[in-house]
């Protein structure tokens, strides 16, 4: 490791313009360790707007709040780019075991869940320990019943459990519907032991009419497993009354740090402004919009950068991604040379991944050198950039993933518990420092930044 750092340092010192670029980034990085702009944004958005589901009046208020905030921070060209979306709205939601051991269970409907009658529906519960077990079951074992699917998601630093176990939430409702189930409850896709269910969207398969679908909190899911294990028939009454509201307005909020050199290309960063309805969306994703804006402001306040930085706070990430689609459709012909998204809470960054063209290795090396002192090693390779900016990476823009610690993220994700108190101000500042250093380096890089493929 020591040798690597020395070699990096040697390489960097050979070019005065690179050394200057790195020096500025290091200075801004250290100042950012005292940042209070990001926390102020998280506190303000979660307090003064609170939950802000896509397409709701609260999301509209969030856009208005965002415009005021970004203007007050000194950004230029602050504006809303409107879009439209189909809105699903949560209703009443209760579940109770009727027999053999009467008691209430805590549930939350999954996005796009169908509705039960207002008085609920009752049925026998048939349990499966995994999605594969449900898939393997004959239709006759499921028809007319309430399906319960369990699993055992465990915390992972890189958050990869969400992909691995996520199919239970995304696919099981349609599979159960295709087999003739009357409804489905799943163990929440989460890693905590609190009675806060984790909501989230499902993928509605072609030709399927969504059945009532809900997540049980993890203590409730384990309770239902224990009850089923007793071997007696288990009857549940489930009441879910969500509604489809049709098309409603959503939109993205955009702010700029104008650059001096339009030919050098544009940088896109951001997160999403909408949140699920149960919590106040502090970690998902007030933190992400706050981190990216706070970092961009620090670069802006140090003098006009070479490249324009565009901060985008996307609408409707959670239920359909219509905001990111609308933005890509409207802007995909612009010369975007770098993208990065923050949408994994406020806990510390543990690695930075970049995917520059080989010619830009010196820039990647400078990013590595600037982030090492924050405890962030660098890896050159694949970049995803997440739900809102991933399309740009696929279209050939280089980018970066500042990988955040995901150990406790799925304790709170999509639950009522996603609230301000879950944000650790110290770790939030480490994020801002990392983002500031990276943005300063990329925005002011003296060399050209090559796209992976030519701009359209």
**Considering beta carbons, is residue 347 or 388 the nearer one to its own copies?**
347
The verdict on 422 binding its own copies (CB under 8 A) reads yes
The verdict on 222 binding its own copies (CB under 8 A) reads yes
Near its own copies by CB under 8 A: residue from 68, 71, 104, 361: 104
The verdict on 408 binding its own copies (CB under 8 A) reads no
Near its own copies by CB under 8 A: residue from 91, 219, 249, 396: 219
**Considering beta carbons, is residue 194 or 335 the nearer one to its own copies?**
194
Q: What is the DSSP string of 124-184?
A: EEEEESSHHHHHHS-GGGTTTSEEEE-------TT-THHHHHTHHHHTHHHHHHHTT-SEE
Sequence-distant (≥ 6) Cβ neighbours of residue 210 within 8 angstroms:
112, 113, 114, 173, 174, 177, 202, 204
The verdict on 68 binding its own copies (CB under 8 A) reads no
CA-based max dimension of the chain = 77
* Contact between residue 71 and residue 312 where contact means Cβ atoms under 8 Å apart: no
The verdict on 226 binding its own copies (CB under 8 A) reads yes
The verdict on 180 binding its own copies (CB under 8 A) reads no
DSSP state, 249?
A: E
b/e map of 37-50 (b: 16 or more CB within 10 Å)?
Answer: bbbebbbbbbeebb
**146-149 and 243-257: which strand pairing?**
unpaired
188 to 207, contacts with its own copies by CB under 8 A?
Answer: 193-196
Near its own copies by CB under 8 A: residue from 10, 138, 230, 381: 230
The verdict on 48 binding its own copies (CB under 8 A) reads yes
286 to 345, contacts with its own copies by CB under 8 A?
Answer: none
The residues facing 269 across adjacent strands are 311, 340
Chain-centroid distance, C-alpha 187: 21
Q: Of the candidates 280, 284, 312, 287, which has an alpha carbon nearest to the alpha carbon of residue 70? A: 312
Q: Distance from first CA to last CA of the chain, Å, rounded?
A: 40
Residue 306 to residue 308: CA distance in whole angstroms: 7
Report residue 266 as tokens.
């544009």
**Considering beta carbons, is residue 224 or 299 the nearer one to its own copies?**
224
Size of the site for its own copies (CB under 8 A): 34
Q: Of the candidates 402, 414, 281, which has an alpha carbon nearest to the alpha carbon of residue 347? A: 402
Near its own copies by CB under 8 A: residue from 43, 81, 424, 447: 43
The verdict on 102 binding its own copies (CB under 8 A) reads yes
The verdict on 103 binding its own copies (CB under 8 A) reads yes
Near its own copies by CB under 8 A: residue from 47, 160, 203, 453: 47
The verdict on 58 binding its own copies (CB under 8 A) reads yes
Near its own copies by CB under 8 A: residue from 50, 166, 249, 258: 50
CB of 244 to its own copies, least distance (A): 21
Footprint of its own copies (CB under 8 A): 43, 46-51, 58, 100-104, 106, 193-196, 218-219, 222-223, 226-227, 230, 279-280, 415-417, 419-422
């Amino acid at each position: 490791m020591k040798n690597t750092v020395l070699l990096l340092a040697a390489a960097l010192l050979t070019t005065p313009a690179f050394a200057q670029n790195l020096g500025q980034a290091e200075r801004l990085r250290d100042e950012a360790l005292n940042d209070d702009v990001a926390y102020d944004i998280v506190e303000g958005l979660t307090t003064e707007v609170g939950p802000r589901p896509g397409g709701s009046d609260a999301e509209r208020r969030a856009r208005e709040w965002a415009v005021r905030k970004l203007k007050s921070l000194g950004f230029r060209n602050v504006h809303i780019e409107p879009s439209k979306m189909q809105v699903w709205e949560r209703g009443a939601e209760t579940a109770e075991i009727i027999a053999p051991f009467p008691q209430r269970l805590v549930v939350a409907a999954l996005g796009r869940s169908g509705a039960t009658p207002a008085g609920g529906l009752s049925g026998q519960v048939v349990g499966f320990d995994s999605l594969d077990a449900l898939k393997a079951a004959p239709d006759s074992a499921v028809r007319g019943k309430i399906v319960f699917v369990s699993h055992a998601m465990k915390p992972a630093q890189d958050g990869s459990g969400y992909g691995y176990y996520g199919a239970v939430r995304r696919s099981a409702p349609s599979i159960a519907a295709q087999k003739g189930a009357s409804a489905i409850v799943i163990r929440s896709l989460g890693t905590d032991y609190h009675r806060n269910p984790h909501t989230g969207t499902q993928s509605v398969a072609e030709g399927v009419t969504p059945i009532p679908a809900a997540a049980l909190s993890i203590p409730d899911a384990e309770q239902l497993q224990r009850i089923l294990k007793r071997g007696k028939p288990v009857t549940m009454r489930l009441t879910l009354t969500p509604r489809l509201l049709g098309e409603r307005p959503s939109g993205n909020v955009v702010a700029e740090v104008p650059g001096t050199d339009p030919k050098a290309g544009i940088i896109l960063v951001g997160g999403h402004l909408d949140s699920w309805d149960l919590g106040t969306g502090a970690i998902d994703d007030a933190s992400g919009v706050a981190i990216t804006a706070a970092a961009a402001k620090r670069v802006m306040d140090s003098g006009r950068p070479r490249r324009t930085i565009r901060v985008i706070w996307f609408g409707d990430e959670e239920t359909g991604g219509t905001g990111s689609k609308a933005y890509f459709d409207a802007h995909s012909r612009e010369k975007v040379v770098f993208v990065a998204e923050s949408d994994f809470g406020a806990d510390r960054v543990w690695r930075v991944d970049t995917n520059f063209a080989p010619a830009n290795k010196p820039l990647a090396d400078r990013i590595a050198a600037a982030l090492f002192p924050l405890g962030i090693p660098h890896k050159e390779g694949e970049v995803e950039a997440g739900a809102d900016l991933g399309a740009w990476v696929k279209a050939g823009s280089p980018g970066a993933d500042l990988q955040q610690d995901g150990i406790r993220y799925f304790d709170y994700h999509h639950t009522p518990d996603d609230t301000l108190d879950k944000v650790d101000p110290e770790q939030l500042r480490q994020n801002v420092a990392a983002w500031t250093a990276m943005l300063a380096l990329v925005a002011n890089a003296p060399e050209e930044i090559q796209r992976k493929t030519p701009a359209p």
